[in-house]
Amino acid sequence: MNDQSGDNGERGMGKWMIILAWLSGLALLAMVFDDLLERQVNPNASPQSVYRGSAVEVTLEQNRYGHYVTSGTINGQPVTFLLDTGATNVSIPAHLAARLGLNAGPRYRVNTANGQITVASTHIDRLAIGDLQLNDIDAHLNPAINSDEILLGMSALRQLEFTQQGKWLTLRSR
């Protein structure tokens, strides 16, 4: 007479080990693909700075959609910027104001690609991309932006020199 209860227990354990291995493999693949997708959206998650005399340069790569997206900070807090030379001011999603230490000032109307909206003026003490440091920047808090991306408009970019060549944009301190 054979004792099959031991064989059934070993088979059940083996089945669970195979399932666990597959789940671990799928989780690892998900992490790898998530990282690849993030790199396609923000290829400049860790912008590198180069010093040329007294000037600082940061070169950004275009993402797969043709935009320049980079990580940076506002008042020491990490953020993601989308460079927008067509925007007059830096436009910050209103829901980020408290985290970034920004106060809402007077409200006013602005024209956007999606029509007119009312925004609140605000002021950024410090903004950084890599070692590029910008100070004293006019901005507004935009209630219509639902993402966490900040539109980096000309109120900040005018403090820099910038040149584009191919898929690269170089920002340089003045």
C-alpha 169/C-alpha 28 separation (Å) is: 33
9 pLDDT more than 90: no
Tell me the pTM: 0.78
Note the pLDDT tens digit of each residue in 151-163.
999 999 999 999 9
C-alpha distances in angstroms, 156 versus 24, 69, 137? 45, 15, 6
pLDDT above 70 as % of the chain: 87
Give residue 14's pLDDT: 79
Q: Are strands 90-93 and 132-142 parallel, antiparallel or unpaired?
A: parallel
32 pLDDT more than 90: no
C-alpha 111/C-alpha 153 separation (Å) is: 14
118 pLDDT more than 70: yes
Q: How far apart are the first and last CA of the chain?
A: 89
Q: Which residue has the tokens 């912008």?
A: 47
